[in-house]
Chain A
Amino acid sequence: MEHHLLEVGGVRVSRREDLRLITGAGKYAADWELPGQLYAHFLRTDRAHARIVSINVEHALEHPGVVRVYTGADAVRAGYVKPMTMLTFKGKSGMQVRVPERPVLAHGHVRCVGEPVAMVVAESALIAQDAAELIEVEYEELPVVIHPEDALAPGAPQLHENVPGNLPFEFEAGDAAATGAAFAKAAHVTRLKLEVTRVAPNPMEPRACLMAYDAREDRYTAHVHVQGVNMMRKQLAAYTGLPEEKFRIMARDVGGAFGQRSLAYPEYCVQMLAAKDIGRPVKWVASRSEGFATDSHGRANFVSGELALDRDGRFLGMRLDWIAEMGAYLTPTGPVSHLRNPSTCLTGVYRIPALYGCWRTALTNTNPIAAYRGAGRPDIAYVIERLVSQAAAETGVDAAELRRRNFIPPEAFPYKTPTGSTYEIADLPGVLEKALKLADWNGFRERRRRSERAGKLRGIGISTVIENTGAGLFPKDEVQIEVAANGAVTVYSVSHSQGQGHETSFAMIVAETLGVPFERVQLRQGDEEHPLFGNHTGGSRSTVGAGSACHLAAKKLIDEGRALAALELGVEPSQVEYANGRYRTDHAERTVALGDLAKAKTFSVTAEGSFSSTFPNGCHIAEVEIDPATGVTEIASYVTVDDCGRVINHTIVEGQMHGGVAQGAGQVFGEHVVYDRNSGQLMTGSFADYYMPRAGLLREITMEEHPTPSKVSPLGVKGMGESGCTASLAALTNGVLDALRPLGVQHLDMPLTPAKVWHAIQAAQRKN
């Protein structure tokens, strides 16, 4: 696709933010500096589960340049022990979530490798690092439990006293009895046990935080990466028991986030202790190795699924037994996203009369799990779409035809699902037919024959998905627009880009609504001088929420300006018309520009809106070719047809889709966070051990749009930042399995590494 380019300062760019980012002028978390700053280094435990017998920091304190050393006792003394949870609903039989304590430095016990046990504060980062090695910790090792099924089994080592059975929360959705009855009359039942693997989100920017304390104002300033300042502030306040107004959050550029950077991590709170005690700012920049061990991981769901079909291939019911691994502690977003999002879209894109899912969360001696691009949405889509393709293979029905037969028909929207959510609008058959044509579904057999002649195995995989975009932690989104006397328009939002390009698309929305040139509109994200209520960027909701609020604010600006312009023109507001940044009336020659209204005093409006979930949907078709001699899979083609409503900026949407699909492909073909099941040691602790997608994995995506209008947002948009992840896991895995099924391979779990595929081929050939 040819990108539509914008003119910014005489340069042709795709996005407003590009200019600073391509010239090295971006400002990321580690780029902040303050006069007099000290440096922190965390000593992290190398044990997966142990009692801390003693900590001796004496030698570290004696090390030249060391200012102070903090341990768990300091954390407990401060009362920084319990992180926030976003899980507010009740579980099975009215169960309340049991949130384990997590002192911001481990106290008494360590429960996963990498947990911080001490923080050294020193005059330089290297001194702090050296001194941390002088701290002596004596441990008494405790039994380790790594697999969530083991953790939930009777007799398992227990992680927390207040979480019996390592089960912090159990939840169910749907109707167990009705589903049981549906299965009883089924002509065919497909069963799969699937692992939605644990992966590391790995934004390219490592974590960093520069924490300062102002004694005069009794206020902390955190320079840190965010997805939105309010979400960070709320969590820091909850963790430390301080009021929210005690925090000022500073963030400019964020080097990727993917849900992982929405969290207030314990380290930041330890830095607060030091910044206040010592009276100097404290800077910490994590290494990637620390990131692998302690930045939240994603997915880690273990699901047994059953799909019941009648004789004609119509779905009668689906039943899921779902274990959501949580790691050693609960993050604010982990449990809620891995339960609510899958249960909201439990029926997928299908009319399934009876549904039942039971979710058990499980604590293990591993790094905590949190939202990762999709946050449960790719997980449920993967489970359903694997089941449907497996059912198609077992019953001998074409995988596209089985989907077609079971889609929620267009006329059934808005569709109330059996688990209580309402899908707004979609044209699933339209999406499917377009994708089948684009992928030349019918020509696959011939392409497979050609591959066979070349000694290769070819498969085609499909997934048709729908997802709920985030309704948000805060019930409304505010946007402020300010006009300067020279006509410059500044827009303020809470929603904070981590690469999505808000500065471009939000400015486009405001420029279009006001009818002024794009160049005149600037976006400021998370500006603490302009505090606003509203949500962070997450759950694919930014254009739906903050983007819509931009539109509403621009309209409000026009309306309020009309009254002011009428005064200037000496007419009634009803006699004033607005177009392209200017008010005019039939009763006077003179016109009034927006900027004219800001001459005497600032002309500014704040608008708000509440926006519920939208339901983007789509069909992805992946064709793969496997070399049986090596087990290497190549993605031969990848087609997407997505309905994300009206598109504001096609270039950005295309980029989001590329990135999402690539993250899905990474998970399918190699990414996997692995802990040793006996010792709890992290086996994938660096980019040397952990697979990351590289150039060439995904060579091209053929994309088309199939929008249906959403009324959730006045812009008609639906969220789409996570669509690529949601659809690609199943499309690619189904493609590989389609290639291997003729050999007798029915099931493989991700990651589909060359070794795993090769072994599967070898085993199948031995059997044959």
Chain B
Amino acid sequence: MAKVEITVNGVKHAREVEDRALLANFLRDELGLTGTHIGCDTSQCGCCTVHVNGQAVKSCSMLAVQANGAEVVTIEGMAKNGALHPIQQAFTECHGLQCGFCTPGMIMAVAGLLKDNPNPTDEEIYHGLEGNLCRCTGYINIVKAVKRSAELLGGK
């Protein structure tokens, strides 16, 4: 067991965790933040993507102890004061989700993508979403949502 202090969505949490506990399980099981989904066990699907110190990370590929002292943002921390984050707004406007299971991870991954590249081309979007699987939408509307997010974030 190991002691960790992790700040999640601005709130500091001190917990004792199993050494092998994954950050994804810590968020879901310890903190009850079930918006972070686990869709695979080989780190391909991206459903569990969160931000660790400002970087998009698949939380299944990181131990909770590795996040000790880190600032983590999950999907639950994206909307502020009752207002949707522009990427959340873009996903619903463009019908970029159906069952919604991949959506939190998608939104967190897109936030990471647009932070590095605020105006991506189509090819850059495809590349940027390589690590996030969706089974419902065929991705067409997700790609539109990424472009719309870029517009909204750019204040257009």
Write the chain B residue with the least CB distance to A126.
Answer: B18
Specify the main secondary structure of chain A where it touches its partner: loop
Check if B67 is an interface residue, CB within 8 A of chain A: no
Chain A residue numbers with a CB within 8 Å of B23 are none
**Is A454 an interface residue when CB atoms closer than 8 A count as contact?**
no
With contacts A126-B20, A204-B134 taken as known, whether A22 is within 8 angstroms of B39 at the C-beta atoms is: no
Chain B proximity mask over A251-293: 1 for CB below 8 Å, otherwise 0: 0011111100000000000000000000000000101110000
Residues of chain B within 8 A of A20, CB atoms compared: 100
A255 touches B92 (CB 8 A): no
Whether A205 lies near B101 (C-beta < 8 A) is yes
Known: A14-B94, A651-B95, A695-B126. A686 touches B137 (CB 8 A): no
Task: Let me know if B100 and A699 touch, CB within 8 A.
Answer: no
Q: Are B99 and A203 in contact (CB under 8 A)?
A: yes
Known contacts A204-B45, A687-B44, A699-B140, A22 near B97 by CB under 8 Å: yes
CB pair A686–B100 under 8 Å, yes or no, is: no
Q: Beyond A14-B93, A695-B129, A695-B139, is A204–B35 a contact (Cβ under 8 Å)?
A: no
A24 touching B36 in the complex, CB below 8 Å, given contacts A204-B135, A698-B138: yes
> Does A658 contact B99, Cβ atoms closer than 8 Å?
no
Residues of the A chain whose Cβ atoms lie less than 8 Å from the Cβ of B35: 23-26
Pick from A659, A688, A693, A699 the residue with the most CB of B within 10 Å: A659
Given A499-B100, A694-B126, answer yes or no on A18-B92 (Cβ-Cβ < 8 Å).
Answer: yes
B122 CB-CB contact with A under 8 Å = yes
- Kindly state the separation between the CA atoms of A498 and B36 in the bound complex, as whole angstroms: 18
Q: Which residues of B contact A660 (CB under 8 A)?
A: 138
A5 close to chain B: CB less than 8 A:
yes
> Whose C-beta in chain A lies nearest to the C-beta of B143?
A695
Q: Is B130 an interface residue (CB 8 A)?
A: yes
Which DSSP category, helix, strand, loop or mixed, fits chain B's interface?
Answer: loop
A515-542, CB < 8 A from B: none
Chain A, 654-696, CB within 8 A of any chain B CB:
654-655, 658-663, 665, 686-688, 692-696
- The yes or no answer to B55 lying at the interface (CB within 8 A) is no
Answer whether A3 and B93 are a contact pair too, CB < 8 Å, given A22-B100, A23-B79.
yes
A734: CB under 8 A from chain B?
Answer: no
Check B97 against A21 for contact (C-beta < 8 Å). yes
Check if A255 sits within 8 Å of B101, measured CB to CB. Answer: yes
Contact with B95, one of A11, A12, A15 (Cβ below 8 angstroms):
A15
A500 near B98: Cβ-Cβ < 8 Å: yes
Closest B-chain residue to A373, C-beta based? B135
Is the pair B92, A13 in contact by a Cβ cutoff of 8 Å?
yes
Q: Which residues of A contact B107 (CB under 8 A)?
A: 22
Specify which of B76, B91, B122 is in contact with A24 (CB 8 Å cutoff): B76
A695: which of B34, B78, B130 is its contact (CB, 8 Å)?
Answer: B130
Quick check: is B6 within 8 A (CB to CB) of the other chain?
Answer: no
Q: State whether A203 and B93 are in contact (beta carbons under 8 Å apart), knowing that A23-B78, A288-B39, A693-B139 are contacts in the complex.
A: no
Chain A CB within 8 A of B59 CB: no
- Chain B residue numbers with a CB within 8 Å of A13 are 92-93
Is B140 touching A687 in the complex (CB atoms < 8 A)? no
Which of these, A11, A204, A205, A697, contacts B84 with CB under 8 Å?
Answer: A11
**B17-54 near A? 1/0 per residue, CB < 8 Å:** 01010000000000001111111111011010000000
Interface size on B, residues (CB 8 A): 55
Given contacts A694-B130, A695-B126, contact A21 B138 (CB under 8 A): no
Tell me if B104 is interfacial: C-beta within 8 Å of chain A: yes
B98 A501 Cβ-Cβ under 8 A: yes
Cα-based distance from A652 to B75 in the complex (angstroms): 24
Q: Does A28 sit at the interface, judged by CB under 8 A?
A: yes
Contacts of B41 in A (CB 8 A): 287-289, 686
Instruction: Find out whether the CB atom of A686 lies under 8 angstroms from the CB atom of B40.
Output: yes
Chain A residues whose CB sits within 8 angstroms of the CB of B98 once the complex forms:
256, 499-501, 655, 659
Tell me the minimal C-beta distance from B98 to chain A in angstroms.
3
- B137 in contact with A659 (CB, 8 Å): yes
Does A447 interact with chain B (Cβ within 8 Å)? no
| A559 CB, min distance to chain B CBs, angstroms | 35
Kindly state whether residue B141 has any CB partner on chain A within 8 Å.
yes
Contact check, A694 vs B140: say whether CB atoms are below 8 A apart: no
Q: Is B20 a contact partner of A204 (Cβ separation < 8 A)?
A: no
Q: Report whether A498 and B99 are in contact in the complex, using a CB–CB cutoff of 8 Å.
A: yes
B103: which of A21, A498, A687 is its contact (CB, 8 Å)?
A: A21
Contact with A along B132-156 (1 / 0, CB 8 A): 1111111111110000000000000
With both beta carbons as reference points, the residue of chain A lying nearest to B108 in the complex is identified as A24
Given contacts A5-B93, A663-B135, is CB(A22)–CB(B140) below 8 Å? no
| CB-CB contacts below 8 Å: B61-99 with A | 74-76, 78-79, 84, 88-89, 91-95, 97-99
* Contact residues in A for B38 (Cβ distance below 8 Å): 30, 206, 285
Closest A residue to B83 using CB positions: A11
For the complex formed, measure the closest distance between the CB of B144 and the CB atoms of chain A, giving whole angstroms.
Answer: 9
Complex CA distance for A25 and B136, rounded to whole angstroms: 19
Task: Tell me the A187-231 residues at the B interface (CB within 8 Å).
Answer: 201-206
Q: Which residues of A contact B93 (CB under 8 A)?
A: 3, 5, 12-14
Contact of A17 among B94, B100, B101 (CB under 8 A): B100
Known: A15-B92, A288-B42, A695-B142. A204 touches B99 (CB 8 A): yes
Judged by a CB distance under 8 angstroms, whether B8 is at the interface is: no
Looking at the assembled complex, report how far the CB atom of B112 sits from the nearest CB atom of chain A, in whole angstroms.
15
Q: Is B139 a contact partner of A696 (Cβ separation < 8 A)?
A: yes
List residues of A (70-102) whose CB comes within 8 Å of B's CBs.
none
B97-118 at interface with A (beta carbon < 8 Å): 97-104, 107
Q: How far is the CA of A43 from the CA of B107 in the complex (A)?
A: 35
A27 interface residue (CB < 8 Å to B): yes
Across the interface, B104 reaches (CB within 8 A) one of A24, A258, A665, namely: A24
A26 touches B100 (CB 8 A): yes
Chain B residues lying within 8 Å of A204, measured Cβ to Cβ, are: 37, 39, 45, 47, 99, 101-102, 133-136
State A54–B94 Cα separation when bound (angstroms).
56
* A312 close to B (CB within 8 Å): no
Q: How distant is A297 from chain B, measured CB to nearest CB, in Å?
A: 15
Q: Which residue of B lies closest to A5 (CB)?
A: B93
Q: Is A701 an interface residue (CB 8 A)?
A: yes
B contact residues around A203 at 8 Å (CB): 99, 101, 135
- Any A CB within 8 A of the CB of B125: yes
Report B45 CB to chain A, min CB distance, Å: 6
**For the complex, what is the distance from the CA of A72 to the CA of B137, rounded to whole Å?**
40
User: Hey, which chain A residues are within 8 Å of B132, CB to CB?
Assistant: 695
User: CB-CB < 8 A to A662: which residues of B?
Assistant: 137-140
Q: Which interface residue of B35, B45, B94, B101 has the most chain A CB atoms within 10 A?
A: B101
Q: Are A659 and B138 in contact (CB under 8 A)?
A: yes
Complex: how many Å from CA A719 to CA B79? 36
CA distance A514 to B34 in the complex (A): 37
- Complex CA gap A28/B103 in Å reads 13
Residues of A within 8 A of B100 (CB): 17-18, 20-22, 26, 253, 255, 499
Q: A24-B35, A288-B40 are in contact. Are A700 and B101 (CB under 8 A)?
A: no
A31 within 8 A of partner (CB)? yes
CB of A4 to closest CB in B, whole Å: 10
Q: With A205-B37, A694-B130 in contact, is A699–B122 under 8 Å at CB?
A: yes
Known: A3-B95, A254-B99, A498-B99. A694 touches B129 (CB 8 A): yes
- Listed from nearest, the 7 A-B pairs whose CB atoms lie closest are A24-B35, A662-B138, A21-B100, A255-B101, A499-B99, A696-B126, A499-B98
23 A–B contact pairs at CB < 8 A? A12-B93, A15-B95, A22-B91, A23-B88, A28-B101, A203-B99, A255-B99, A255-B100, A256-B98, A258-B135, A655-B141, A658-B139, A659-B98, A665-B138, A686-B41, A686-B44, A693-B138, A695-B126, A696-B125, A696-B139, A698-B138, A699-B143, A701-B138
Additional A-B contact list (12), CB under 8 Å, known A696-B143, A700-B140:
A12-B89, A14-B95, A24-B33, A24-B34, A24-B35, A205-B39, A256-B98, A655-B95, A687-B40, A687-B44, A693-B139, A701-B140
Which residue numbers of A lie inside 8 Å of B, CB to CB? 3, 5, 11-15, 17-28, 30-31, 126, 201-206, 253-258, 285, 287-289, 498-501, 651-652, 654-655, 658-663, 665, 686-688, 692-701, 724
